[in-house]
Every structure is written in C-alpha cells, then in structure tokens.
Amino acid sequence: MSRASLSVVSDAVTVRVPAKVNLHLGVGPLRDDGFHDLVTVYQALSLYDDVRLSPSSELRVTTRGDGAADVPGDSTNLAARAVAEVARRADRSPRVAIDIDKRIPVAGGMAGGSADAAGALVGAVNLWGLDIGRDELTEIAAGLGSDVPFALHGATALGTGRGEQLMPILARGEFHWVLAIARSGLSTPAVYGELDRLRGNRSVSDVEARRPDDLMAALTSGDPRTVAPLLHNDLQPAALSLQPVLRRTLRAGIDAGALNGIVSGSGPTCAFLCADETSAVNVAAELSGAGVARAVRTATGPVPGARLLSA
Ligand code: C5P
C-alpha cells in the first residue's frame, strides 16, 4: 500500500489493484449481522484493475474493459463510496472522476469490486496529499466490504472475522494459476444464501477450530504439489448448485493437467493451480479449446496489494 505524500497534490493518479483467490475458505454459521464468520487464506494474483482518479466537477465512475457494462457508474459503486468516505473524513468535496480499466471479472468471486474500492482509497489519499495512515485506511476499507482490506494488503494472508481481519502468511516462491471466467456472474449474497439453504438445520462447527494449518505450512514450503490437495472452499457446493455447469469446467482443468481446481470465493470463476508456468500455459490452451469458459487467463501469485503507478 502506498502512503500519502504530504507535499505533492497531483492532477491525476493511477492505482493498480490485484484480484484474489481464496486457497481456503471455511464458512461458519450465519451471524446476527447477516455475515458469516470466516477463516480464509487469500492470495493476490497478477490479474489487475487500474483505477485512475482525477479532479472533476462531480463524483462519477466510468468503467471500460471486461464486463464494464455491468458496473454501476453512480454513487452506489464501491469505488465511489470509497472516495466519498475519504472526502468525508478529510472534510472536502468528493469531486473526482474515477476511471476503471477492468480485467478482473465482474461478479466473478475474485473481489474485483473490492479491488476497485481499495484502488480508489489509495488514489484519493494520494490525489489530495492526505496524511491518512495504513491503520485508518484499513479501517475505512473494512467498512466498505469484507475483501477490501485484503485488496490493500495483497500477498498471501489469513483472513478471519468476516474476512477483514488479516494476518500475513509467508508463502515462498511463485504459484502459477489458470483462471476460467464463466459466461455469467454470481451474486455473493445469493451464494452465501444457497450455502445456508444446503446446510439447513445441520449444526456448523466453530470456524476458529478449522484453521488451515497444513495449508499454511505448505505455502511456506513453496511447493505447489503440496499446496494443491489442500485447496478448499466451503462455498463451492453452493456455487455448483447455482451453476451446475461449473462441474464440467473443474473437470476440464484437472483433465488438462492442473494439480487441482477450485471455485474462487463465491464463484463462478474457477481457479486451477499448476505445477509451473509451462503447465499453466498448456492448461489454459486446453481449457480455451474445451469451450467451458467465456475467457481463460493465466496469473501468478502472490503479488502486492494496491499500489500507485503514476502521479
Ligand atoms: O462484505 P461484502 O459487502 O463483500 O459482502 C457481500 C455479501 O456477502 C454480504 O452482504 C453477505 O451476504 C455475504 N457475506 C457473508 N459473510 C461474509 C462476507 C460476505 O455472508 N463473511
């Protein structure tokens, strides 16, 4: 995350923000506040949105690129809410144009909206030359959405609470991923709701008791073959229930030579961990040919969180 410069107030700033995948997503019972307690392992991937902020007569959001038509351009956009909140705290008017260059799939389970909000936070702080520190920015981020603090943080991290409380995890080396982006998105609340429906009256064990210690040790080893069998997502059955075609996508990736594949977060993007770069390129080519996805991308992780590109 970039800190504000106190002296330089820029004409425009661009912030690059990564997508995330959850290597482990353990979901506890539904809480009274409508969220679920989580224990999750996030990894930031080299699939980025670029968020540009410049002075304007009004707060507005323009999005171009993948799925841009589905992103709201008004004040309901999470990036606009991020700028409005920084402006409120700094006691200034949020007259900023936000231009988002989108590569992270919209409603894809890769925290694209959260990434844009994180980019807007870092952008506003730098555009206005504010002295807002990392802790306060993380607090604002958590108020915007469960995944926003991680988009600021990046790298590999354990998330608890509703996902917003982070602890860094040491991950050695570089992991090679293939992402199969589905033809239509999934709503995050709908996927959590489907999980609750599938669970019915079954009691759900305390999520704290299910910290993925084996996975965390495997990440420190840096060996994708050790990490792959430990990938886990409690939301996967719910995403598969809402989009049964994803079973075929997951099978196609494994058949193509991936070490393992999971639904990313609430889906429907499927993420495949591969042994190395060559394998990832081969898996991506086969998946593209199999026609199971709208688009197929390769990416590596971990990468840093939101960072300033230019001022
Ligand atoms: O925090 P965020 O706005 O991303 O959450 C979107 C929705 O996802 C929430 O309103 C809730 O329905 C669901 N959610 C949840 N438990 C979490 C995170 C998200 O139930 N820990």
Q: Could you report the per-residue pLDDT of 87-145, keeping only the tens digit for each?
A: 999 999 999 999 999 999 999 999 999 999 999 999 999 999 999 999 999 999 999 99
Residue nearest to atom 21 of ligand 1 (CA): 162
Residue 22 belongs to some domain of the structure: yes
Domain hosting 262: range is 175-301
Among 66, 99, 147, 234, which one carries the catalytic annotation? 147
End of a domain among 169, 200, 223?
Answer: 169
In a shared domain, residues 159 and 209:
no
What pLDDT was estimated at residue 5? 43
Q: What is the pLDDT of residues 6-40, one digit of tens each?
A: 445 568 999 999 999 999 999 999 999 999 999 99
Q: Is the CB of residue 143 below 6 angstroms from any atom belonging to ligand 1?
A: no
Segment 133-162 mean pLDDT? 97
Top pLDDT among 32 and 207 is at 32
In a shared domain, residues 132 and 261:
no
Segment 190-208 mean pLDDT? 88
Listed in sequence order, the residues at least 6 apart from 75 whose beta carbon sits closer than 8 Å to its beta carbon are 59, 81, 84
In a shared domain, residues 116 and 231:
no
Among 20, 37, 50, 116, which one carries the catalytic annotation? 20
In a shared domain, residues 53 and 100:
yes
| DSSP string of 77-142, one letter each residue | SHHHHHHHHHHHHHTS---EEEEEEE-SPTTSSS-HHHHHHHHHHHHHHHHTT----HHHHHHHHH
What pLDDT was estimated at residue 66? 83
Q: Is the CB of residue 163 below 6 angstroms from any atom belonging to ligand 1?
A: yes
Residue 11 annotated among the catalytic residues of the structure? no
Residue 198 sits in a domain of what CATH number? Answer: 3.30.70.890
Residue nearest to atom 12 of ligand 1 (CA): 189
Segment 252-269 mean pLDDT? 98
In a shared domain, residues 204 and 160:
no
Segment 146-167 mean pLDDT? 97
Segment 267-294 mean pLDDT? 97
Q: Both ends of the chain: CA-CA distance in Å?
A: 15
Query: Whole-number mean pLDDT of the chain?
Result: 94
Tokens 């991937």 belong to residue: 45
In a shared domain, residues 186 and 150:
no
In a shared domain, residues 159 and 63:
yes
pLDDT band at 203 (very low <50, low <70, confident <90, very high): confident
Residue nearest to atom 20 of ligand 1 (CA): 35
For residue 4, is pLDDT > 50? no
In a shared domain, residues 141 and 268:
no
Q: Is the CB of residue 272 below 6 angstroms from any atom belonging to ligand 1?
A: no
Segment 263-278 mean pLDDT? 98
Q: Which amino acid is at 251?
A: R
Query: Which ligand 1 atom sits nearest the alpha carbon of residue 37?
Result: 21
pLDDT band at 209 (very low <50, low <70, confident <90, very high): low
Report which of 143, 152, 150 is spatially closest to residue 3, judged by C-alpha positions: 152
Known binding residues: 105-115
In a shared domain, residues 40 and 100:
yes
Distance CA 216, CA 209 (A): 15
Residue 309 belongs to some domain of the structure: no
Of 20, 24, 188, 195, the residue with max ligand 1 atoms within 8 A of its CB, to mutate for a pocket test, comes to: 188
What pLDDT was estimated at residue 280? 98
Residue 102 annotated among the catalytic residues of the structure? no
In a shared domain, residues 86 and 153:
yes
pTM of the model: 0.94
Distance 276 CA to ligand 1 centre (A): 33
Residue 99 sits in a domain of what CATH number? Answer: 3.30.230.10
Query: How much is the ipTM here?
Result: 0.97
Residue 7 belongs to some domain of the structure: no
End of a domain among 169, 188, 216?
Answer: 169
Residue 306 belongs to some domain of the structure: no
Alpha helices by DSSP H, 243-276? 246-255
What pLDDT was estimated at residue 205? 76
What pLDDT was estimated at residue 2? 45
Query: Which ligand 1 atom sits nearest the alpha carbon of residue 266?
Result: 8
The total domain count for the chain is 2
Angle between helices 112-127 and 78-90 (to 10 degrees): 30
Residue nearest to atom 7 of ligand 1 (CA): 189
End of a domain among 108, 137, 169?
Answer: 169
Distance CA 163, CA 27 (A): 10
What pLDDT was estimated at residue 9? 59
For residue 182, is pLDDT > 60? yes
For residue 208, is pLDDT > 70? no
Distance CA 18, CA 16 (A): 7
Distance CA 39, CA 163 (A): 7
Segment 235-239 mean pLDDT? 98
Q: Is the CB of residue 147 below 6 angstroms from any atom belonging to ligand 1?
A: yes
Rounded to whole angstroms, the maximal C-alpha distance in the chain is 58
Distance CA 192, CA 47 (A): 25
**Burial of 222 per CB tally in 10 Å (0-12, 13-18, 19+):** middle
